[in-house]
Amino acid sequence: MGLNLPSFVKRSSSALLGIDLSASSVKVVELVPGQKASMRLQRYAIEPIERGAVTDGNIERPEQVAEALGRAMRRMSTRTRDVAMAMPSSAVITKRIALPAGLPEEDYELQVESEASQYIPFAIEEVNLDFQILGPSAADPDEVEVLLAASRKEKVEDRVAVAEMCGLRPVVVDIDSYASRMAVDHVSAFLPNAGQGQIIAVFDIGQMVTGVSIVLNGQTIFEREQSFGGQQLTQDLMRLYGLSPEEAEVKKKTGELPENYQSDVLQPFIEQGVADVARALQFFFTSTPYARVDRIYLIGGACVVPGLCESIAERTQVATEILSPFQGMEIADSIRERQLRLDAPALVTACGLALRRFDA
């Protein structure tokens, strides 16, 4: 197969760091087996990346990204060197296909490679290709459903190179949306009846865009992307108050700003965010057979803006919460819980990657 790494979607049973490289920062999470709970958040770090080093999921300046990752690793003070990383969904082609059941592993590899050429607009030798058997086909008991995943080699190699510059060894390459779903599914398991029968809307409010994913019984039933993100608020703060990007990022989470901030800057931003959430839900209702959402989870670094969660809950009349992917986990004594509450929603993808260690 094209991938020299274990998989887009398999697990690692040994110690593992989850590393999420976004346009604004490097996020690193380390989970270990817990004593009273199944796992413990042992360490995490968030380090800003210079603007333009990562654009639309592409690593444009590997040295600068590696420099930020190196700072995060020094803060982590961990001996763990095996890492799970994520490709942006836009850089990965995924396809569910049906293949005969009961074949040896090597036969599935040959079949997948043969099938892949139908779906991939590149030469097979130019891609990293992987697959996972999902289970029996619902349409035919003699077949299994297989998830095919492929990405251009240079996209994978860019991330591997950044990790290797920091002395790290990538052992899992995942897809960012799959990693986020791992973390969301972990939290949903704590809902009544493990969340079965509940329609859960996840709004991932990032720097530039908001990703919307609506899930029912472990299946994604709706997805879309909207051009609302925290960068707009950051730019307003920089312009009005003469702040650096880093200062603006901190202050928009804490709200430690002049009096006119609430009325002149924050409220218009919140109103736009609430309108975008309501618009996405309306689009979901009109384009699917579903007429309700039972719960809204907010994730992503921009969702912790004070007042946004409450305003969304009021407008939509749906139970809304800022999601911490570390629910039900032990928290190491060295981690400040107040800071973690601010940081947790931005760590969802990194946490999902770290969860690959525990994925049965």
3-state secondary structure string across 218-267? CEEEEEEEECCCCHHHHHHHHHHHCCCHHHHHHHHHHCCCCCHHHHHHHH
Note the pLDDT of residue 118.
Answer: 83
CATH number at residue 119: 3.30.1490.300
Q: Are residues 196 and 129 in the same domain?
A: no
Convert the pLDDT of each residue in 276-321 to its tens digit: 999 999 999 999 999 999 999 999 988 998 899 999 999 999 999 9
When computed from its CA atoms, the radius of gyration of the chain, rounded to whole angstroms, is 21
Measured in residues, the chain has a length of 360
Is pLDDT of 39 > 90? yes
CATH number at residue 214: 3.30.420.40
Nearest-CA neighbor of 318 among 203, 228, 218, 223?
203
Is pLDDT of 209 > 90? no
C-alpha to C-alpha distances, 326 to 15, 92, 183, 253, 299, nearest whole angstrom = 17, 27, 8, 19, 13
Q: Which of 153, 180, 204 is the last residue of a domain?
A: 153
Q: Are residues 225 and 143 in the same domain?
A: no
Is pLDDT of 349 > 80? yes
Lowest mean pLDDT segment, chosen from 41-50, 105-114, 332-341: 105-114
Quick one: what percent of the chain has pLDDT higher than 90?
Answer: 57
pLDDT top residue among 227 and 82: 82
Note the pLDDT of residue 249.
Answer: 78
Q: Are residues 262 and 207 in the same domain?
A: yes
Q: Are residues 232 and 314 in the same domain?
A: yes
Q: Are residues 224 and 303 in the same domain?
A: yes
Q: Are residues 204 and 148 in the same domain?
A: no
Lowest mean pLDDT segment, chosen from 23-32, 264-273, 351-360: 351-360
Is pLDDT of 10 > 60? no
Q: Are residues 138 and 216 in the same domain?
A: no
pLDDT top residue among 293 and 177: 293
Note the pLDDT of residue 188.
Answer: 95
Residue at 358 is within a domain: no
Task: State mean pLDDT over 127-155.
Answer: 87
Total domain count, the chain: 2
Quick one: what percent of the chain has pLDDT higher than 70?
Answer: 96
Of the pLDDT bands very low, low, confident and very high (cuts 50, 70, 90), residue 58 is confident
Q: Which of 105, 128, 153 is the last residue of a domain?
A: 153
Average pLDDT of the chain, as a whole number: 89
Q: Are residues 144 and 201 in the same domain?
A: no
C-beta neighbour count of 123 within 10 angstroms = 8
Q: Are residues 231 and 315 in the same domain?
A: yes
Q: Are residues 127 and 198 in the same domain?
A: no
Nearest-CA neighbor of 233 among 312, 305, 298?
305
Nearest-CA neighbor of 340 among 91, 118, 40, 66?
40
Residue at 40 is within a domain: no
Q: Which of 99, 134, 153 is the last residue of a domain?
A: 153
Residue at 56 is within a domain: no
Residue at 328 is within a domain: no
Residue at 347 is within a domain: no
Note the pLDDT of residue 314.
Answer: 97
Q: Are residues 220 and 116 in the same domain?
A: no
Task: State mean pLDDT over 223-245.
Answer: 89
Residue at 343 is within a domain: no
Q: Whole domain around residue 144: which residue ranges? A: 91-153
Residue at 122 is within a domain: yes
Task: State mean pLDDT over 178-184.
Answer: 92
Note the pLDDT of residue 13.
Answer: 54
Note the pLDDT of residue 9.
Answer: 44
Q: Are residues 214 and 129 in the same domain?
A: no
Task: State mean pLDDT over 268-273.
Answer: 95
Is pLDDT of 222 > 90? yes
Convert the pLDDT of each residue in 72-104 to its tens digit: 999 999 999 999 999 988 888 888 888 999 888
Residue at 351 is within a domain: no
